[in-house]
Structure 1
Amino acid sequence: MIEVKNLKKVYNGVTVVNVPSLHISKGESIGLVGNNGAGKTTLFRMILDLIRADSGEVLSNGVPVAGGEAWKNYTASYLDEGFLIDYLTPEEYLYFIGGLHQQNKAQVDEYLTGLTDFFNGEILKKGKYIRDLSKGNQCKVGVGACLLQKPELLMLDEPFANIDPSTQFRLKNILKDQNKNHGVTTIVSSHDLNHVTDVCERILLMEKGVIIKDIATSSSTLAELEEYFGVGQTAQITQPVDVVIDKEENH
């Protein structure tokens, strides 16, 4: 579904993303982990054509995302509150998103009933603009809008960061359901190693813009990641690794 070829981005002489090769198959659940400044969000934004690469390309279903439109029809993402229209109420925003995907108000309302537990009575019919919500509740609106689109590819950047433990648990169940029962390809960036290893079957570890580990999630993955980050290891990176591992090869 997603293929990265010789992707590189440089800011002020510093290479922030350098990924020679990466393949993500349809239906995979991918976790992206790394310290601050590792390049995770920049990579996300390049996959979404929000930042143009200095060299290389990203393909979605075999078609370059740069300048393309077709991939937008099956891709949903929430990276931060900048993805929202903050002068709207949550209802207005969700109806707007639904309308972009040929859904009328009744269809949106019907879908949102399935998110009642996730919203936890804090989002709808509160008479607030999105800008007046907490960051955690803004995240709920963003995730809800993504799910409303019924995407084939779902990308979330740090979705667990500002939400309470109960909502984290519900979000994990949603992500598992989207992947396992609906075949949605999910790519989730998170600093929370417990959450990301729980919901993702494959973990990509980034350091200084480079994917240095590609791990098929197992019972030992969390311990492996905790050991890596716990000892304060910063890999001495001289050459980036090629990452071309299909879903079938991980099992």
Structure 2
Amino acid sequence: MVAIEVGHLTKEFNGFVAVDHISFSIKNGEVFGLLGPNGAGKTTTMSMLSTMLKPTSGKAFVNSFDILKKEDDVRKSIGIVFQDQSLDEELTAYENMDFHGRLYRIPKSTREKKITELLKLVELEDKKDNLVKTYSGGMRRRLEIARGLLHEPKILFLDEPTLGLDPQTRNHLWNYIDKLNKEKGITIILTTHYMEEADKLCDRIAIIDKGKIIALDTSDRLKESIGGDVIEIRSSEKEKLHTMIKTFSWVKHVDVHNDSVTINLQNAEKHVAEIVNIASENGIYIESISIHKPTLEDVFLHYTGRTMREEEASSKDRMRMMQRSMRR
């Protein structure tokens, strides 16, 4: 069965297109990732699906409920962990959970039982009476996830769940997310710009850039789609090297970015010596050369012609433009 169905969903802010006619579906029990740089449209998509923003056009169904016609039903059946913290720091963990449960009108006996169970799940039962302002960033994220599960949602939205956390805490949180999905069967949709996070957690990944979905599949298939191996060559004569290499029949794709030429091909070890020899014969000096299996960063580069880091920088300009449009 389908948990979420999206068709040509679009959001504009005074002429600025933040989300551009995207379509996808998510199966029940799936962990689905929206991967892309800041400003790509991930959070805007999440906001529309959770009924916090109305789309300019297009349709979406969450738990079979139309996001425009059945907003209350959508909200009752989802849990959300926002990118920005939404806990009350002057309350304890238990009080934050209890307040959330009252908002959803969960009976007291059920509420108390669920709060104890969920705080234990995220290993905060011993800290339940501590004020949230004394919590670390990782503890707050775990509490927000526990709170989002209190009313037993069928779908959990996680917007940049590990943003700003150190690598060790991030890995710890990944284990909780994976456990939630496998043990409770909750459908999870998460946004991230961390390649490793999407790779580790997601059954399928939609790569989003400038408001459009540019690729959607499992991580392994996305990597397979760009070729078997990746050769990256640094050279001050990258344009000349690019022109020479793209004529080879065994090259699947070749691109230039920064000071590097990136080549997608099969059996890189077989051809690397040939590349070096031909470059030498043509007077092209190679500063460095590396070979690796495709990563999601390579996938993003393949489909956009830019690295995630380069796109992240230009995304900041688009975000500023959108903010100015919203103010107007």
TMscore range, shorter length: 0.7 to 0.9
Amino acid at match of 2:160: E
Alignment partner of 1:124 out of 128, 133, 141: 128
| 2:142 match | 140
Secondary structure of 1:218's counterpart equals helix
Asked if the contact 2:222–2:299 (Cα under 8 Å) also holds between the matched residues in 1, the reply is no
Alignment partner of 2:204 out of 202, 205, 208: 202
1:193 is displaced (CA, Å) by 0.9
| Greater share of helix | 2
Q: Determine the C-alpha separation between the residues in 2 that align with 1:69 and 1:138.
A: 27
1:131 is displaced (CA, Å) by 5.4
Q: 1:131 to 1:49 in 2, by over 3 A?
A: farther
Amino acid at match of 2:305: Q
| 2:77 match | 74
Q: Determine the C-alpha separation between the residues in 2 that align with 1:70 and 1:220.
A: 35
Which region of structure 1 is more displaced relative to structure 2, 79-88 or 54-63?
A: 79-88
User: Which runs of 5 or more structure 2 residues have no equivalent in the other structure?
Assistant: 224-292, 308-328
| 1:2 match | 4
Q: 1:133 to 1:9 in 2, by over 3 A?
A: same
1:230 is displaced (CA, Å) by 5.8
Alignment partner of 1:104 out of 86, 104, 111: 111
Q: Determine the C-alpha separation between the residues in 2 that align with 1:139 and 1:112.
A: 12
Q: Determine the C-alpha separation between the residues in 2 that align with 1:170 and 1:223.
A: 26
Asked if the contact 1:32–1:188 (Cα under 8 Å) also holds between the matched residues in 2, the reply is yes
Asked if the contact 1:80–1:139 (Cα under 8 Å) also holds between the matched residues in 2, the reply is no
1:57 is displaced (CA, Å) by 2.1
1:178 is displaced (CA, Å) by 2.1
Amino acid at match of 1:8: T
Asked if the contact 2:215–2:222 (Cα under 8 Å) also holds between the matched residues in 1, the reply is no
| 1:233 match | 305
Asked if the contact 1:31–1:189 (Cα under 8 Å) also holds between the matched residues in 2, the reply is yes
Relative contact order: is structure 1 or structure 2 higher (C-alpha 8 Å, sep ≥ 6)? 1
> Where do 1:1-251 residues align within 5 Å?
1-67=3-69, 68-81=71-84, 83-99=86-102, 100=104, 101-102=106-107, 103-116=110-123, 119=124, 124-126=128-130, 128=131, 130=132, 133-218=135-220, 221=223, 223-229=294-300, 233-234=305-306
Q: TM-score, length-normalised on structure 2? A: 0.62
Q: Determine the C-alpha separation between the residues in 2 that align with 1:210 and 1:43.
A: 11
Following TM superposition, the consecutive aligned residue runs of length 4 or more in structure 1 with deviations greater than 6 angstroms are none
1:135 is displaced (CA, Å) by 4.4
Q: Determine the C-alpha separation between the residues in 1 that align with 2:175 and 2:136.
A: 22
CA deviations over 1:204-250 (Å, ceiling 9, x no partner): 00011011100213287493412144687349xxxxxxxxxxxxxxx
1:141 is displaced (CA, Å) by 2.1
Secondary structure of 2:190's counterpart equals strand
Q: Determine the C-alpha separation between the residues in 2 that align with 1:219 and 1:15.
A: 29
Secondary structure of 2:149's counterpart equals helix
1:13 is displaced (CA, Å) by 1.5
Secondary structure of 2:220's counterpart equals coil
| 1:238 match | none
Higher radius of gyration, 1 or 2: 2
Which region of structure 1 is more displaced relative to structure 2, 144-153 or 32-41?
A: 144-153
1:27 is displaced (CA, Å) by 1.4
Asked if the contact 1:203–1:217 (Cα under 8 Å) also holds between the matched residues in 2, the reply is yes
Secondary structure of 1:148's counterpart equals coil
Q: TM-score, length-normalised on structure 1? A: 0.80
User: Which runs of 5 or more structure 1 residues have no equivalent in the other structure?
Assistant: 236-251
CA deviations over 1:132-169 (Å, ceiling 9, x no partner): 65544432221121233332101101111223333322
Secondary structure of 1:38's counterpart equals coil
Asked if the contact 1:35–1:207 (Cα under 8 Å) also holds between the matched residues in 2, the reply is yes
Secondary structure of 2:213's counterpart equals strand
Q: Determine the C-alpha separation between the residues in 1 that align with 2:39 and 2:157.
A: 19
